[in-house]
Amino acid sequence: MFDGNFRKSVDTTTAPVGQWLVRRGVSADVLTGSGLVFAALTAWSIGVGYHYLAIVLLTLTGFHDMLDGAVAKASHRASQRGSFFDSVIDRVSDALLMGGVAYYLTAHGHGQLVLLPFAIMTTTFLISYQRSKAESLGLSAKGGLMERAERMILLGVALLANQIFLPVLWLMLALTAMTAGGRFLRVWRVAARPEPMQRPVTRPHRNVGRTRRALTRASRH
């Protein structure tokens, strides 16, 4: 949903910041790597129960995630390697955050509810895999109710109070599962359409080539 409705406006806002960072020698890979550090600190804060601190660190993690793309564009160094690195780090960050949630639930005696962040992480990875697989087939699988930006925002809301922590996590799981199901249906329908027929490439017959060479020789004499 964020990519579909707000991405252009956010890119317009972050472009000057990206240019400013480039002038000071900050690269997109540095921002991606430091974003992972902040994600790890956020996971630790969630796990030990420092949830207000976790909100601040989660916000900083989100800023790093927004600005690395702006820096890559401003430096004119956007590459496949950078895109691959960013995608992998995003998945590691997601796993760290849900790992922090799982540790917190375990430490506070919630028992089998530790499977809740595991389920969220599983459906999150499914969403990412669907997009990657669809794009490798030349199809689009963007959009949905719960992409990465929305998940981080909702996690921040969950950290506001212990009373809403578990209900918001259940809501995140439901919306994430709906997003995964919606992407699957969209790709399934598009992939079911017949591919356009391509006209076979006709090659000139060998006899035609011989005839042309014979006419060329005759014209020389």
Dihedral sign for Cα 190, 192, 195, 196, please: negative
Which residue of the set 29, 86, 90, 94 is catalytic?
90
| 198 vs 220: CA distance, rounded Å | 41
| 162 vs 185: CA distance, rounded Å | 36
Find the angle CA(45)-CA(92)-CA(117) to the nearest 5 degrees.
60
Of the candidates 176, 159, 134, 127, the residue with the CA atom closest to the CA atom of residue 42? 159
DSSP state of 21: H
| 1, amino acid identity | M
Catalytic, 29? Answer no
Dihedral sign for Cα 207, 211, 217, 218, please: positive
The residues annotated as belonging to the active site are: 90
